[in-house]
Structure formats: structure tokens, C-alpha cells
Amino acid sequence: MTNKKTFENLGLSAKALDAINKKGFEEPTAIQSITIPIMLRDDTNIIAQAQTGTGKTAAFGLPLIEMVSLDFKTVQALILVPTRELAIQVSEEINSLKGDKDIKIVPIYGGQSIDQQLRSLKKGVHIVVGTPGRVIDHLKRKTLKIGKIEHLILDEADEMLNMGFIEDIEKIMAHTNPDKRTLLFSATIPKRIKTLARKYMNGYELLTVKKEQLTTNLTEQIYFEVKASDKFEALCRIIDIEDNFYALVFCRTKNDVDSVVAHLIDRGYDAGAIHGDFSQAQREKTLGKFKKQKINILVATDVAARGIDVNNLTHVINYSLPQDPELYVHRIGRTGRAGNEGTAITFITPSEYKRLMFIQRVAKTDIKRSKVPEVEDIIKAKKKKIYDDLAAILEDDIDTEYYNWAKQLLGDNNPTKILAAILNYGFGRELSPDSYGEIKEVGSKGKQLDQQGKARLFVALGKRDKINAKKLVELIMNRVSIKSKQISDIQVMERFSFITVPFEKAEEIVVSFKKKGRQPLISHAKKN
């Protein structure tokens, strides 16, 4: 990977650094380290190879915030994205990074009231984040003027090309200032992107992040799909069902670390924290306790966890999904050391499933879906541990004082009732189901469905049939009553394609395209 840098030496202003610190970010990701300084120079176009989830929004968002002038209430930067979900996400992320700088950032996309967008644009906007179709709608209405923009960002460029937006992008580019800087972010750099760059970018600098060889060795890897609000409850259940839990818990930011540790301590767990705000003395003290197992849970950021040398961890918990495959492998590699087996558990929300599958593919590993332990199973495991502990005590010599006390307690009472009362007194709270909160199940039982009640369909048409994403959506809409926004994750290959649709629409689509006596044109994708 590239040499490690800090946000402080990337050329960002004190206000930008303050905003970053408030978000709890400690260290720039690889793509941020190489992109931010070059963007701030503002003297070249850029093609950056970066996957979703590697921090690329901040990579272009932070420099944009620095370079936008508040003296002009005109659109100074246009960010094109393939989906409305990404338009909202990018807009919110940049807003969260702007600090107290009064920058106006507006997302515009199909499915949202155009009147609402018109009102926002009339008030004056500095940065527009939009989908190609809706941006063209505004250009036709002359309600969006991009003739003086200084920066054009194409985010997830390969995805936009796969979805058939190339003509729309070229139309938009024709309306822009020829002296603007163009920055293209893409997970892959196919020939079509290079052709687009040659045509519309007068020279560019290609930025890529060096990949490491990834290995996962002795670690069992599973993931739980839960709502963000249920992550802490899931963590507590995992801790309680394990016999000798000894783990590192990774969070993305310092703020998350502080929050998780505070809640763990409130629940009575022996937990500690380390992150960038801790002094070296504090760090060493906490690490010392962890290595001696005076605390069995250490919650940390990736930066703070560097150099921790512990060989007998039972678990690594990815409380927050790591930003890239390399980080994932570095985290889970902390189990399975010195020949010991370990378990890596990753929490994801439904919207993070696609990114987890990317991590699995690049890391060439198998991350199996599992279910958060049920409360009754946890209580059963606790009872077994209590039974085993009592059995071990019975094998040792017991002080006569306790024998005398036992005789007093028994008296004329029923021995079983006395023992039940003692167990209730000692373990009643620990074994109570009321000490656990409810976790609502998300996702589906089969891999064919995604976690929001959707189905993945196989389409026996591809590029060789002169099909692109736009034509495929139109074809389905002509046969079935479905809105274009309900068809997502479109992948058009040479001979076939994949789409994701609401589960309730899937069967209707399959039946509609079934040909008598022949294989259906559209069918359910096979389970892996």
C-alpha cells in the first residue's frame, strides 16, 4: 500500500481538519492520501481507481469544500452519480464534512419532486450532486446552469457506463466549461472510460492504490445482517454465548469506539478502548490490562490497533464494515495466530451487503451468513457454564464454614427449594431474558433474495443482443407494471444480464417473459 499519511500533511485547512476530527476519522484512506493533494493543486484532470466504501467521497469532497468560493452563488461543481441512493449519500457525506462553511449542496434525482429541486436551485447552489437523467431534465428546462463549473466529478463511472448513461454523460459534458477540471472515479478502468477520457479530458493523471496479497488462513469468517440500531445488542449476545470470549472489536471512528465501550461498561462487561486521542501512557496501560486478560474486550480503531501483538484472541468483531478488502484481512488476521483458530464476525446493515460481497471476492475468502444467537440459547449456554463451574468446585475441598452455613440454611426446609433460591439469588439477573433487547430479523432465508425483500433475476440478453441497461429497463416496463426506480443493480454482460427487483414483482416478470415450450427469457438467478 502507499506510505501512510495523516490528514494534517495533505494540505487541508484547519477548518477542514476540525470537521474531520469531529467526525472521528483518524487517518486518511489510501485513495484519500493520493487524491486530496493532487486535487488541491487544481492543475490536472484525474482518473482514480477506487471501490465503493474506500472513502472516495471524502477524497473529492474535502478538496471541493476547500476550493468552493462563497463569493458566488453559482454552481461551481457538478457530481454525477448512477443512482438516486448514491446522490443522497454523497450529498449527505459532503454536508457532514463542510463544518461551518456555508456551502449549499443539493442532490437532484428522479423520483423526487422537481418543484422542490427548482426551489433549491433558485436559492443558489455551490455543489450539485445528480443522476444523469434528472440533470439533463434541468438542462432542458434551463433551470440548471453548468457553463461556469470549475469541477466535474464522475463517481462510479464504470457503473454509469454499464447502465447505459454514456450518451447522457456526453450531453452533459457538452454544456460544461471547457476549462473545468474533470475527475473520474471508477472501480475498474475499461476501454470505454479511457476513450471517454481521451475525448473530453485534455490529459489526466491516473491514480491507483497498490494491492497487497491477501490471505485469511485459520480464521472462521461469518457475518450477521442487522439494523444499525441493533448492532450493540448483537455484540452483547455474541459475548454472552461464548465460553471464554477474548476479542478485539473494530469501529470506524473514535466516536464509535467511545460509544461502544461506554455501553459495554454500563452493561457490566470488562472492556477498554484505544484510539488516536489516547496518550501513549494510556494506550500502554490499556493494552497491558488486555494482554493480562484483566479486560477481555478491547474496542479500537484500525489506526490505534496497529502493533497489537496478541496470539490467543478468540474473536475479531468488525462492528463497522471495513473500508476495503486489505483492511478486512488485516483485522481478521489478528485471530488464527500461532496455530490457534479464531472467529471473525462482521456486522453489516442491509445496504452494506454488496460491499461485503466485494470484499469476499477480492480477498478470495468465504464469509458465511449466520444468525444472531437467540436469547434462549444464550441462557442455556450460561446455565451450562454455571453447572460446569459448580461441578469443578465440588471436586475441591470446601471450607467448613460453608458446610456449617449450609446446615443452617437447610434446617427443616426443602433442599431443592433452598438450592433454587440460592441460584435465583446468585444468577437470577444474569439468566433473565429481560436483560436482552429485541433484535428484529432483516434479510431473507435464501441468497436469491437480498436483504430488503428483493429478488435477483437472470436475463438471457446481453450486449451482443444490442441491450444496455436503459433498453432492458424499458423492455421490462413495457411488459409489466413496474417503475424504473424499482429495477436496480443492473449488470449487462456480453451474453446475459442480471437485475434486482422487488420480490413481489419477480414472479410476475418471470411469467411475463416465459415462452411456450422454451426456456424463459427471464428467470430467477441460481442460488450460489
DSSP per-residue codes, 156-201: THHHHHHTT-HHHHHHHHHTS-TTSEEEEEESS--HHHHHHHHHH-
Q: What is the pLDDT of residue 195?
A: 84
Pick the last residue of a domain from 207, 227, 242.
207
Question: Same structural domain for residues 388 and 463?
Answer: no
CATH number at residue 298: 3.40.50.300
Q: Are residues 249 and 167 in the same domain?
A: no
Could you read off the pLDDT of 324-345 as tens digits, one per residue? Answer: 787 888 788 777 554 567 899 9
Helices marked H in 5-148: 14-23, 30-41, 56-67, 84-97, 114-123, 132-141
Please report the DSSP string for 258-315 in residue order.
Answer: HHHHHHHHHTT--EEEE-TTS-HHHHHHHHHHHHTTSSSEEEE-HHHHTT---S--SE
pLDDT of residue 517: 46
Q: Is the pLDDT of residue 350 over 80?
A: yes
- Is residue 440 included in any domain, yes or no? no
Q: Are 124 and 225 part of one and the same domain?
A: no
Counting the structural domains of the chain, the total is 4
For the chain, the average pLDDT equals 85
Q: What is the pTM of this model?
A: 0.57
Cell, residue 413: 426446609
- Between helices 166-174 and 191-200, what is the axis angle to 10°? 10
Name the band, by pLDDT with cuts 50, 70 and 90, for residue 52.
low
Nearest Cα neighbor of 17 from 42, 43, 36, 1 is 36
Q: Does 117 fall in a domain?
A: yes
Could you tell me if 368 and 484 lie in one domain?
Answer: no
DSSP class of residue 217?
Answer: T
- Mean pLDDT (whole number) for 35-39: 95
Q: Region 9-33: what's the mean pLDDT?
A: 88
395 plus 338 within the same structural domain: no
The radius of gyration of the chain from alpha carbons, rounded to an integer in Å, stands at 28
Q: Dump pLDDT digits (tens) for 141-195.
A: 999 999 999 999 999 888 888 778 888 999 999 999 889 999 999 878 888 888 8
Dihedral through CA 296, CA 297, CA 303, CA 306, nearest 10?
20
3-state secondary structure 92-130: HHHHHHCCCCCCCEEEECCCCCHHHHHHHHHHCCCEEEE
Per-residue pLDDT, 81: 92
Residue 444 confidence (pLDDT): 44
Q: Are residues 16 and 75 in the same domain?
A: yes
What pLDDT sits at residue 528?
37
Q: Which range has the worst mean pLDDT, 117-131, 240-254, 334-348?
A: 334-348
Q: What is the pLDDT of residue 102?
A: 92
In this structure, the answer to whether residues 470 and 513 fall within a common structural domain is yes
Same domain, 365 and 487: no
The answer to whether residue 448 sits within a structural domain is no
**Cell reading at 105:** 449542496
CATH code: domain of residue 478: 3.30.70.330
Determine the structural domain holding residue 421 and report its residue range.
Answer: 376-435
Per mean pLDDT, which range of 42-46, 209-213, 486-490, 493-497 is the poorest? 209-213
- In a domain, residue 390? The reply is yes
Question: How many whole angstroms separate alpha carbon 436 and alpha carbon 426?
Answer: 18
Main-chain dihedrals φ then ψ at residue 4, nearest 5 degrees: -70, 135
Residue 96 has pLDDT above 70, yes or no: yes
Q: How far apart (Å, rounded) are the C-alpha atoms in residues 198 and 178?
A: 14
Domain end residue (candidates: 207, 228, 253): 207
443 within domain boundaries: no
Q: Are residues 424 and 320 in the same domain?
A: no
The stretch 47-53 carries a mean pLDDT of 77
Does residue 442 lie within any of the structural domains?
A: no
Nine-digit cell string for 444: 431473507
Instruction: Map grid coordinates 432492458 to a residue.
Output: 472
How much is the pLDDT for 236? 93
Q: Is 407 a member of any domain?
A: yes
Residue 447 falls within a domain, yes or no?
Answer: no
**Per-residue DSSP letter, 449:** B
- Nine-digit cell string for 82: 448512477
Residue 427: its pLDDT value, please? 85
| Kind plus residue range of the DSSP H or E element containing 263 | helix 254-266
- 3-state percent helix, strand, coil for the chain, nearest multiple of 5: 45, 15, 40
**316: phi then psi, degrees, rounded to nearest 5:** -120, 125
Strands 454-459 and 522-524: antiparallel
Q: What digits encode the pLDDT tens for the residues 365-393? A: 888 899 899 999 888 988 888 888 888 88
**How many beta carbons lie within 10 A of that of residue 66, not counting itself?**
17
Q: How confident is the model at residue 61, as a pLDDT? A: 95
Asked if residues 124 and 104 have their Cβ atoms less than 8 Å apart, the reply is yes
Instruction: Find all residues with CB under 8 Å of 22, minimum gap 6, and list them.
Output: 99
